[in-house]
Amino acid sequence: MGIPFDRNMIDDVLKKQNIANIGSATIRQSVAVAEDIEKATGEKFVHLEIGAPGLPACAEGVKAQKEALDLGVANVYPNVGGIAPLKEQASRFVKAFLDVDVNAEGCVPTVGSMMGTFATFILCAHLDKKKDTILYIDPGFSVQPLQAKILGYKRESFDIYHYRDEKLRDKLESYLSKGNVAAVVYSNPNNPTWVCLTENELKIIGELMTKYDVIAIEDLAYLGMDFRKDLGKPYEAPFPPTVARYTDNYIMMLSASKIFSYAGERIAVVAISNALFNRYYDGLQEEYGMGVLGKAFVFTILYALSSGVSHSAQYALAAMYKAACDGKLNFVEQTKEYARRANKIKEIFCKNNFHIVYDKDLDQDVSDGFFFTIGRKGFTGDRLLDEFLRYGISAISLRPTGSEQEGIRVCVSKVAPDTYDILDERLRIFDSNNPIK
């Protein structure tokens, strides 16, 4: 079957998956649709939808995890707050690569950052009865608002597209001044746009967190991947910008999935500021009988959710943190492969008359990295996504990420160089069949 694929066949696949609009599908549903079309046509898709690592897992982690299993940790429950070697190395890692001091006790492993944000939302929603809302600086990871929806929490959001630099202050304050916001969540670099909040923007967020006593939940899944700077040397400037320099009201998510390509073992660290970890809240005492934030987080919420994180995976992450801090593992240099792929894939899209939607960080071009955003004149993001299925291309719409712009998210991680020509050919045919008016 040639490109473009038959429309009726595509519609049959969507109907069987019970998907009325591919733009509303989850990332996993989008993958399933692409896989069903692959089976029906015998043609391989260009997978731009799922943000899975496209590099080998960090060897230091694999070695340490095997050794831990050989030592017999598989039959021993880990400490729910994390094993000592991981907590110590996580504290070192935060200092080495962010120049921020977080005590080992405040570095707590979770089953990926997905669990980390879920647990943190529960925590923040019980600090103060008047504060019952999570504010999202969008676009963002589409699962995070779903987590709040599952928990039954109120949500507010805004698209940062028109609110960069000092404009961010008034926009944020318009929400925070209501007095109902418990936490503000964002990713940096940003999923899906790869926009990177600047030092000044994070200073604004930090100042407002302190002013309104709100917690910043900073998702650093792609730590160090603003490749416009060399952020891979431990204990050496420049360091990635972080809200932690401007407020004590922060909780950082440090995932192993992308920076160490260790997604399969589902492990991350939640780093809670020293002041916040030891802060007492009447709301926590009333709800859980444990008023100190760090203790309530570990011994009530995490205990109830999973009773700890894979014992052997904790040894793996401790080893990777140690190697990075000791200068033996340059994880930033390894992940630069994503920037190389992004640069080439952007070039292919642009030469076929697509445009980058979120293209600037103030006066700078957005960095090449794990994600970027693409639009097409005359197409909404949902329609573009739907049409791409006929051309063997799968992605996700920007709409479920909270974006108010029209376009799609492109993830480069699974697009190997031998796929570039296939993508170029399919986009060329698309461009020919859909001329811009």
What pLDDT, on a 0 to 100 scale, did the predictor assign at position 23?
85
What domains can be seen in the chain, in order of their start residue?
7-55+331-433 (3.90.1150.100), 59-325 (3.40.640.10)
pLDDT score recorded for residue 217: 98
Q: Is 29 helix (H, G, I), strand (E, B) or coil?
A: helix
Decide if pLDDT at 27 tops 60: yes
Q: For 114-128, how does the pLDDT look when each residue is reduced to its tens digit (9 = 90+)?
A: 999 999 999 999 999
Could you give the 3-state DSSP secondary structure of residue 10? helix
Residue 286 burial by Cβ neighbours in a 10 Å radius (0-12, 13-18, 19+): exposed
How many residues in total does the chain contain? 437
pLDDT tens digits for 189-200? 999 999 999 999
267-290 per-position pLDDT tens digit? 999 999 999 999 999 999 999 999
- Amino acid symbol at 106: G
pLDDT at 60: 98
Distances, alpha carbon 291 to alpha carbons 114, 127, 295, in Å: 25, 9, 8
Q: Are 26 and 236 contacting, i.e. CB atoms less than 8 angstroms apart?
A: no
First to last CA, the chain: 29
Show the tokens assigned to 110: 């979770």
Q: What is the pLDDT of residues 402-419, one digit of tens each?
A: 999 999 999 999 898 999
Note whether 143 and 193 are within 8 A (CB): no
How far lies 280's CA from each of 118, 159, 291, in Å? 21, 33, 5
Q: For position 358, what pLDDT does the model report?
A: 96
Helix 112-124 to helix 143-151 angle (10° resolution) is 40
Residue identified by tokens 């401007």 is 246
pTM for the complete prediction?
Answer: 0.95
> How far is residue 222 from each of residues 66, 137, 255, measured CA to CA in Å?
26, 17, 8
Average pLDDT, the chain: 95
List of residues 6+ apart from 80 with CB closer than 8 A? 298, 299, 302, 303, 307, 308
pLDDT tens digit sequence for 136-167: 999 999 899 999 999 999 999 999 999 999 99
Q: What is the mean pLDDT of residues 230-246?
A: 96
Compute the distance between CA of residue 236 and CA of residue 231 in angstroms, rounded to an integer: 8
Q: What residue type is 226 in one-letter code?
A: D
- Provide the pLDDT for residue 324: 98
- The residue behind tokens 């909404």 is 380
Residue 364 structure tokens: 């700078």
Question: Within 13 Å, how many C-alpha atoms sit on residue 41's CB side?
Answer: 25
> pLDDT-derived band of residue 1, with 50, 70 and 90 as boundaries?
low
Structure tokens at 60: 């230091």
